[in-house]
Amino acid sequence: MKSTLTAVLAAMLIVALPIAASDQTRWLNVHVTEAEEGANVEIHLPLQLVLAVINSVDVDNFHAGKVDLEISDADIDWPQLLAAVKDSPDGEFVKVDADDARVRVSKSAGTLYVHVEENDDNAIVDVSLPMAVIDGLDIDENNQIDIAALLSTFDHLPNGDLVTVNSDEATVRVWVE
């Protein structure tokens, strides 16, 4: 009886594994709810589609998946900065308390958190960047950010929110699943 049950379970596993493996599509989701207009926008696209399109875009400052940040006057050593963020221990890096806004940048359990509270718009912005995303963040010496490389890292992220914005005007949620 026991061996029959084991055989049945093994057979179920053999059948179920390929089914689970075949449904590997990762989805990029964006939800925007605009309070004033009462509009609600839900975008649910396969990450692969987004990546392929981004790699093909060829417009003004967006070529082959790279966007020019247009900050040529800023002399920033991006690789060093990103390495510093990655290698630093958990803790709060940035704390700004001003009249119009509060900003917190911290790192905890392999994730970089950016929290901004803006008083004027009554807006709260939360960004969660797992270190895998920081690893994929590639900004070259010409201040061009490789968006395609960045999005490629989403493929290996666990399901969860990346960006949430809550303000009087709108709420925005970006997540992968």
Partner 1 sequence: MHRQSGVSTVGAVLLAGLAATLATLLMMDWMFVDVQTPEPESIHIMVPFPLLAGRVAAGIVPDDVFRDAEMPPEVLQQREVVLTALRELADTPDATLVRVDADDAIVNISKTGDDLLVSVDADDARVRCKIPVDGILDALEGWDWQTADPDLIFDILGSASMGELVTVEAEDGTRVAIKMW
Where do contacts with partner 1 occur on this chain (CB under 8 A)? Answer: 23, 25, 27, 37-46, 48-49, 52-53, 55-58
Shortest distance (Å) from residue 26 CB to partner 1? 11
d(CA 157, CA 177): 8
Shortest distance (Å) from residue 114 CB to partner 1? 28
Q: Using the minimum distance from each CB to partner 1, give the nearer residue, 48 or 143.
A: 48
d(CA 53, CA 148): 9
Q: Which residues contact 95 (CB under 8 A, 6 or more apart)?
A: 103, 104
d(CA 97, CA 84): 24
Q: Using the minimum distance from each CB to partner 1, give the nearer residue, 27 or 113.
A: 27
Report the half-sphere exposure of 55 (CA within 13 A, side-chain side). 11
d(CA 35, CA 40): 9
Shortest distance (Å) from residue 32 CB to partner 1? 9
Q: Using the minimum distance from each CB to partner 1, give the nearer residue, 116 or 149.
A: 149
Q: Using the minimum distance from each CB to partner 1, give the nearer residue, 37 or 87.
A: 37
d(CA 174, CA 6): 43
Shortest distance (Å) from residue 172 CB to partner 1? 15
